[in-house]
Structure 1
Amino acid sequence: MKYRTYYDMLHEPDTNDIETVKPMLRRLSLIPIIALGYFTMSHFFSIKYVKTDDFYEKPLWFRLFYMMPIFCVFRWRLYIAWILAECSCMMGAYGAYPASSLPKCGQGPSDLKALHKVKSFPKKTASYNFEAVNNLYIWGCEMAPTTKEALRSWNKSVQYWLANIVYRRVPMKSFRVFLTMAVSAYWHGVDPGYYMSFLTVPPILMAERVMIAAFRDEEPTIKQKLFDHVCWFFRMRGFDYNCMGFLLLSWHDTVRYWSSIYFIGHITIIVFFIVGTIFRPPRKKTND
């Protein structure tokens, strides 16, 4: 988050006039459904089981399947934590800005002229929202067809920080994603699993980009919709695959699991990159 949002919370007068309870309750209304799914799934599926010898005696289909509910448990737990964090901000009017100022997560108001204009009127007459602290867009996390779109919906305040403090400051564009993912891994810790997972993201984005260029229509067609559905399926499987390294943490446990499913995530990346490169249409020449 920008320091500005914290400063505004401390120095903004008449914050009691800003409606906080209703927005908080609307956000909290999502938790019972998510919590039900989390507690149900976590009862049957545990990352600890993946570290046992018994797990690796199961058939291949079971080992492949198991990463899907594990990622469900992982992300639903984070959904609950992030929503509760958002609600705590709302109760203190932290991140409350006039809707007309077009606030964005991490940044705060993006239209400062509209912000100053609204400040000349009583707060009771203005419409406020908490987009500045809205850290999670669940629909995007669950249904976005591409990895790039899904990442923008996930932990948005950290994504904002990484984009502005790391990504845009790397002078060589070809290294931006790699270095950003490396910093993100270090942000989480020093366990090898973090780096193995996060540094798999740049190749995923590369393969995804060439496949989109090769097969996705720019105009809305049946082919485009079919491609988006297929892309969503593989995007989710990529998240499942990387989640295992994120949770297993150690080099041994991560390699043990990935090798038990024949490094299918990495193999898929290579196949998609080759196929996308072969079928990618030639770039149109521009006339000077």
Structure 2
Amino acid sequence: TIKKQGAWVAQSVKRSRSQGPGMESHVSEEFASPSAPPPLCYPLAVFFRRYLFFKDSYLIHLFHTFTGLSIAYFNFGNQLYHSLLCIMLQFLILRLMGRTVTAVLTTYCFQMAYLLAGYYYTATGNYDIKWTMPHCVLTLKLIGLAVDYFDGGKDQNSLSSEQQKYAIRGVPSLLEVAGFSYFYGAFLVGPQFSMNHYMKLVRGELTDIPGKIPNSTIPALRRLSLGLVYLVGYTLLSPHITEDYLLTEDYENHPFWFRCVYMLLWGKFVLYKYVTCWLVTEGVCILTGLGFNGFDERGKAMWDACANMKVWLFETTPRFTGTIASFNINTNAWVARYFFKRLKFLGNKELSQGLSLLFLALWHGLHSGYLVCFQMEFLIVIVERQAASLIQESPTLSNLASITVLQPFYYLVQQTIHWLFMGYSMTAFCLFTWDKWFKVYKSIYFLGHVFFLSLLFILPYVHKAMVPRKEKLKKMG
């Protein structure tokens, strides 16, 4: 879950402050932290490139399995048996049940039940680095594996182009499943990738220079460097902008405008620890070649196959849907591919979207804050689409929105609303227990719920009043 994926950054920064005030100690402690192995995976990636890239597949699978198990043992000790058990049972499900709907449903039920049981028995009121952190990543991997294996047994003409890309035609061996599951560059915090993509890496196909190791060192270092920039920013700001302050009497005693501004700034800043984590990990994937995504129309190699962040879009978009499209990309793509689109039989896009967000909330954990956060996301996206449709279809609003001189003002207003209510949603996500998030929401009069629920009911009437009948008929036609 993303809260746990960012926890190694937050915990390491806290530890580093206890060692001294210098920035050098902050950054060096981050790299030395036992709960922060992604930077330490770079030497493993270099070794793989230098000695194993074109070697026999069984050697590559063994290397990935051994290094992943070592990382698991280093962080969680004997609790690595949780991942071993689920991988072994998943392999048996594939072999014994075959390419059947029963195998897919069994996988969904078993893997999610095991994860949720883990959350239940290990839950505390704090963010802890526990075996459930990598296990939530593994859960999605194994479910995706089962669905792709199921698709591999269908007639290719009955599959969409996306399903054809990911469908597994062969029968994975236990060693292949283990190597895929324990790949060191993604075992702890992701990103998600398919078995087919992993097997391309094993076969030496993920390179921009056929027959040679990928020319990916510079792209990998760029993502690592960008991740370190966010790490430094988080380290500098974390003493001054904390979620704990939201729970203090001092916060409640400040004026309403101050409480809103603080929530806005915190909402932007709190995501930096996740951005750091994903950028650093993406660099490892790029270095191995797993990040290779073919060539663009100009023939330039693309290294974004494992990108979990679109940094420029994340920093500049004034829309909630823009943040969703730029943040935690691979997990969102996984949910779209293996859950949302599989609910097409319901015949209701909003219902499918709501169930997908419910699945995401449960995948993150059993605390009420996750449900509230994703409920807010669902509400905000619906209202944002209504507002965009209204502005586009109303001649008056469309003309007003196109006034060039007012564009900076519109952008500022949009960004203010955007990050204020991103912070509002993230409050429930990060505080996650009912007593905490309810207290903060009460202190700002449930502003987010009042604002967006009001718009949800008002906008249809505004649309009816401001959109000419001919525009409505054109839309219906």
TM interval, short-chain normalised: 0.7 to 0.9
1:5 aligns with 2:197: yes
CA RMSD after TM alignment: 2.6
Supply the distance in 2 between the matched residues of 1:127 and 1:174 (Cα, whole angstroms): 38
Alignment of 1:23-34 (within 5 A): 23-34=219-230
**Contact 2:309–2:328, Cα closer than 8 Å, also in 1:** yes
In structure 2, the residue matched to 1:141 is 314
Per-residue CA deviations over 1:126-167 (Å, capped at 9, x if unaligned) read: 743211111101122222222122201111100111111122
Query: 1: CA distance between counterparts of 2:201 and 2:456?
Result: 47
| Match 1:163 to one of 336, 344, 361 | 336
Identify the residue that residue 266 of structure 1 maps to in structure 2: 449
Tell me whether 1:71 sits opposite 2:254 in the alignment: no
Q: What are the residue-to-residue correspondences of 1:3-152 with 2, within 5 Å?
A: 3-12=195-204, 16-100=212-296, 127-152=300-325
Residue 16 of structure 1: how far off its partner (Å): 4.5
**Using a 3 Å threshold, how does the CA distance of structure 1 residues 191 and 101 change in structure 2: closer, same or farther?**
farther
The residue aligned with 2:379 is 203
**Contact 2:282–2:291 (CA under 8 A) maintained in structure 1:** no
- Whether contact under 8 Å (1:207, 1:272) holds in the other structure is yes
Distance across 2 between alignment mates of 1:25 and 1:44: 30
Percent identity between the two aligned chains: 22
Cα deviation per residue 1:65-115 (whole Å; 9 max; x = unaligned)? 22123223321111110001101111211131321499xxxxxxxxxxxxx
Q: Which structure: larger Rg?
A: 2
2:430 aligned partner: 247
Check 1:16–1:186 CA distance in 2 against 1; reply closer, same or farther (3 A cut): farther
Of the structure 1 ranges 156-165 and 217-226, higher mean CA displacement relative to structure 2 is found in 217-226
Secondary structure of the 1:98 match is: coil
Q: Report how many aligned residue pairs link the two structures.
A: 265
- Residue 473 of structure 2 aligns to a residue whose secondary structure is coil
C-alpha displacement of 1:235: 1.9
Name the aligned partner's letter for residue 47 of structure 1: E
1:235-270 deviations in whole A, cap 9, x for unaligned? 222211101101111011111100110011111102
* Deviation by residue 1:141-198 (Cα, 9 ceiling, x = unmatched): 2222221222011111001111111222222223122111111111211111111111
CA positional deviation for 1:229:
4.6
Q: What is the deviation of 1:3?
A: 1.7
Contact 1:56–1:63 (CA under 8 A) maintained in structure 2: yes
Displacement of 1:271 in angstroms is: 3.0
SS at match of 1:129: coil
Q: Which runs of 5+ in 2 are unaligned?
A: 1-192, 393-397
Q: TM-score, normalised by structure 2?
A: 0.51
Moved more, 205-214 or 74-83: 205-214
Q: Which moved more, 1:178-187 or 1:225-234?
A: 225-234
Aligned counterpart in structure 2 of residue 180 of structure 1, from 331, 356, 376: 356
Tell me, yes or no, if structure 1 residue 222 matches structure 2 residue 410.
no
AA in 2 matched with 1:271: S
Task: Output the amino acid matched with 1:169.
Answer: R
Q: After superposition, give the CA deviation of every residue in 1:42-76 in whole Å (9 maximum; x if it has no partner).
A: 01121123233443333323322221232233211
In structure 2, what is the Cα distance between the partners aligned to 1:218 and 1:85? 45
Cα distance in structure 1, aligned partners of 2:196 and 2:234: 35
CA 1:26 to 1:212, structure 2 compared with 1: closer, same or farther past 3 Å?
same
Distance 2:324 2:455 in 1: 20
Separation in 2, partners of 1:156, 1:188: 16
TM-score between the two structures when normalised by the length of structure 1: 0.82
For the 8 Å contact 1:193–1:249, the answer to whether it is kept is: yes
8 Å CA contact 2:286, 2:292 repeated in 1: yes
How many angstroms apart in 2 are the aligned matches of 1:83 and 1:195?
27
